[in-house]
């Protein structure tokens, strides 16, 4: 039992393979929202159309996502969440920690960020190839 047949798979070959596997196991597929008889030629035809439409929809969503990411990148927006510290502020955090005069918690309070933000900045600075703490 499925809510909608196009939710079973987003590609027509996958949908047909899943439905065939179910049929070979001796079971039937019943959609809660679509009155289809999957055992008839017409039902099989409609299922294939629904599968093709789901595959088209998936392709369109993918194309739009890629275009949106490209447009955001062209505007200078980086993927992911916004950084808690600018690169300059992160360099200052690393410098303060390297002096040994401040704890990570004290630095976090100075910059009004969480301790984990400071910890990540220091960790990144310790990575090979980074010059701040090596």
Report pLDDT digits (tens) over 38-49.
888 998 898 889
User: Is 69 contained in some domain?
Assistant: yes
pLDDT classification of 97: cutoffs 50, 70, 90: very high
Are 38 and 14 contained in the same domain? yes
User: Is 117 contained in some domain?
Assistant: yes
Query: Three-class SS string for the chain?
Result: CECCHHHCCCCHHHHHHHHHHHHHCCCCCCECCCCCCCCCHHHHHHHHHHHHHHHHHHHHHHHHHHHHHHHHHHCCCCCCCCCCCCHHHHHHHHHHHHHCCCCHHHHHHHHCCCHHHHHHHHHHHHCCCCCCCC
Residue 130 has pLDDT above 70, yes or no: no
Mean pLDDT of 95-101: 95
User: Is 18 contained in some domain?
Assistant: yes
User: Is 82 contained in some domain?
Assistant: no
Instruction: Check: pTM over 0.85? Answer yes or no.
Output: no
Count how many domains the chain has. 2
């Amino acid at each position: 039992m499925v809510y909608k047949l196009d939710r079973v798979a987003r590609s027509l070959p996958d949908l047909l393979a899943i439905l065939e596997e179910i049929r070979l196991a001796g079971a039937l597929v019943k959609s809660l929202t679509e009155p289809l008889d999957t055992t008839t030629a017409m039902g099989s035809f409609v299922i294939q159309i629904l599968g093709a439409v789901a595959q088209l929809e998936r392709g369109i969503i993918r194309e739009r996502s890629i275009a949106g990411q490209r447009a955001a990148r062209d505007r200078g927006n980086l993927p992911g969440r916004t950084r808690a510290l600018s690169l300059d502020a992160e360099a200052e955090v690393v410098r303060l920690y390297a002096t040994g005069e401040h704890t990570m918690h004290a630095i976090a309070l100075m910059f009004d960020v969480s301790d984990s933000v400071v910890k990540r900045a220091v960790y990144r600075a310790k990575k090979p190839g980074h010059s701040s703490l090596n």
